[in-house]
Amino acid sequence: MGWQQDKIAQKRENLLNDYKELVKDIHLLREQGKKEDGNLAIKCNWNDSDYKAVCSDKLYQFNKKHGGLWCKSLACKCRKYANIEVTLDDNPCYESVALKEWRFGAGWDHNIKTGVALRPRHIKNIRDGRLAILSSVLPHHTEESERFIIALIFINKICDDPGKETIFFGDPEKSIKIDYQKHKLRFWDYYENPRKPKEVIWASGLYRYITNRCVLKMLRDIVNKQVLPKNDLEKAEILIDYLDRLEKDKTPSPE
Assign 71 a pLDDT band (cuts: 50, 70, 90). confident
- Calculate mean pLDDT across residues 82-110: 84
Assign 190 a pLDDT band (cuts: 50, 70, 90). very high
- Calculate mean pLDDT across residues 90-103: 88
- Calculate mean pLDDT across residues 20-46: 63
Indicate whether 9 pLDDT > 60. Answer: no
Cβ(91)–Cβ(77) under 8 Å?
yes
pLDDT of residue 10: 60
Assign 19 a pLDDT band (cuts: 50, 70, 90). very low
Assign 28 a pLDDT band (cuts: 50, 70, 90). very low
pLDDT of residue 6: 59
Cβ(150)–Cβ(107) under 8 Å?
no
Assign 227 a pLDDT band (cuts: 50, 70, 90). confident
- Calculate mean pLDDT across residues 189-200: 86
Cβ(34)–Cβ(209) under 8 Å?
yes
DSSP per-residue codes, 65-131: HHS-HHHHSTT--GGGGTTS---GGG---STTTTTTT-EEE--EEE-TTT--EEEE---TT--TTSE
Assign 15 a pLDDT band (cuts: 50, 70, 90). low
- Calculate mean pLDDT across residues 62-81: 80
pLDDT of residue 34: 59
- Calculate mean pLDDT across residues 193-217: 88
Between residues 71 and 43, the one the model is more confident about: 43
Indicate whether 249 pLDDT > 60. Answer: yes
DSSP per-residue codes, 34-54: -STT-EEEEEPPP-TTTTSSP
pLDDT of residue 8: 59
- Rounded distance between C-alpha atoms, residue 176 and residue 243, angstroms: 15
Assign 174 a pLDDT band (cuts: 50, 70, 90). very high
Q: How many helices (H) and strands (E) does the chain have?
A: 5, 9
Assign 32 a pLDDT band (cuts: 50, 70, 90). very low
* First and final C-alpha spacing in the chain: 50
Assign 18 a pLDDT band (cuts: 50, 70, 90). very low
